[in-house]
């Protein structure tokens, strides 16, 4: 069984998805102690509070776990669609991730981030680092709703394997994605007991009320009730008088965490943990493709021969 270390793990969305796909998670690392506390409530393997930006200090600790794969989602706030788009310290953690991978030299790595990270300066530095270390890369933006998640959340994945050719997994991803998006009704059935719900928009030029028969919008790190002054929007699927915002646990379910997942901390912290997380089913979708690829014992040379 392939051993996996999860960096910038948060509460463990990536870890849980890879664990479900059959990987052996041997340890996780994150700088937010409260998120690590939640992680420890839900997993049996070690979870470490660590400042991964100080790579030289944490590399020996990761190396001691002898991972075959390194996975992780470096914090992505500086790449987000909202607010100023200048790349700052958090964006640089993408480059730190690549340095850790290059130093430890695992068989494979999987890095997740927001969609716009693909065109960032920080990712370009990371890509160069990966290639210098001998990794062939598959780079793809995935719509979570086409990967089994009832949420239209677009995320960038970079998957590298030693001595592979470029985009070595791309055809597998395209063949595995659904042609129809997942919706809350299809995923949860009657679990929620409502038809429409409110999700606070970034501004009132955007809609805020959604139906369970369409993919949910991206779960962010904030969750607000319907404000009395919400003016409504032509795209809303119901009137504000007949809806409410999702509860914290309903938002966790939209991120496809199991109902049995244990949460602890303040409501504000938990909402942020949920918004930061990789949807479990999206992680599982990626992990199953990687597992299938590894189980087939394919090599870059054989695959190149097939496509000629």
Catalytic positions, written as ranges: 76
Give the N- to C-terminal CA distance of the chain in Å, as an integer: 32
Smallest Cα–Cα separation from 21: which of 147, 126, 192, 183? 147
Q: 67, 63, 72: which is closest to 26 by C-alpha?
A: 67
By three-state DSSP, how is residue 72 classified?
strand
User: Please, what is the angle between helix 121-132 and helix 89-104, to 10°?
Assistant: 10
d(CA 189, CA 158): 33
∠ CA 139-90-36, rounded to 5°: 95
Q: Which of 97, 94, 95 is nearest to 77 (CA)?
A: 94
Q: How many CA atoms lie within 13 A of 175 on its CB side?
A: 7
User: Cβ distance 147 to 174 under 8 Å?
Assistant: no
Question: How far apart are alpha carbons 250 and 268 in whole angstroms?
Answer: 15
Which residues are CB-neighbours of 292 under 8 A, at least 6 positions away?
Answer: 172
* C-alpha 68 chain-centroid distance: 20
- Cα torsion at 39, 44, 49, 53 (round to 10°)? -90
Classify burial at 155, counting beta carbons within 10 Å of its beta carbon; exposed 0-12, middle 13-18, buried 19 or more: buried
């Amino acid at each position: 069984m392939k051993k996996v270390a999860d960096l910038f793990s948060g509460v463990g969305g990536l870890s849980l998805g890879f664990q479900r796909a059959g990987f052996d998670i041997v340890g996780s690392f994150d700088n937010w102690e409260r998120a690590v506390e939640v992680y420890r409530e839900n997993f049996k393997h070690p979870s470490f509070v660590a400042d991964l930006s100080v790579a030289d200090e944490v590399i020996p600790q990761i190396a001691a776990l002898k991972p075959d794969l390194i996975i992780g989602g470096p914090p992505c706030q500086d790449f987000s669609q909202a607010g100023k788009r200048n790349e700052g310290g958090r964006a640089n953690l993408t480059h730190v991730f690549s340095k850790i991978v290059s130093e430890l030299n695992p068989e494979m790595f999987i890095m997740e981030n927001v969609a716009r990270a693909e065109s960032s300066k920080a990712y370009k530095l990371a890509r160069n680092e990966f290639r210098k270390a001998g990794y062939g890369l598959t780079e793809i933006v995935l719509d979570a709703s086409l990967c089994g998640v009832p949420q239209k959340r677009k995320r960038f994945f970079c998957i590298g394997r030693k001595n592979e050719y470029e985009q070595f997994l791309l055809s597998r991803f395209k063949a595995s994605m659904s042609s129809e998006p997942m919706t809350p009704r299809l995923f949860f059935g009657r679990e929620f007991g409502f038809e429409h719900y409110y999700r606070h928009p970034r501004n009132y030029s955007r809609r805020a009320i959604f139906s369970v028969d369409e993919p949910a919008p991206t779960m962010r790190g904030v969750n607000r009730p319907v404000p009395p002054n919400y003016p409504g929007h032509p795209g809303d699927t119901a009137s504000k008088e007949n809806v409410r915002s999702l509860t914290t646990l309903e938002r966790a379910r939209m991120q496809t965490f199991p109902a049995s997942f244990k949460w602890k901390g303040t409501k504000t912290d938990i909402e942020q943990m949920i918004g930061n997380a990789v949807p479990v089913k999206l992680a599982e979708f990626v992990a199953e493709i990687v597992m299938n690829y590894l189980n087939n014992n394919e090599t870059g040379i054989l695959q190149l021969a097939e496509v000629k």
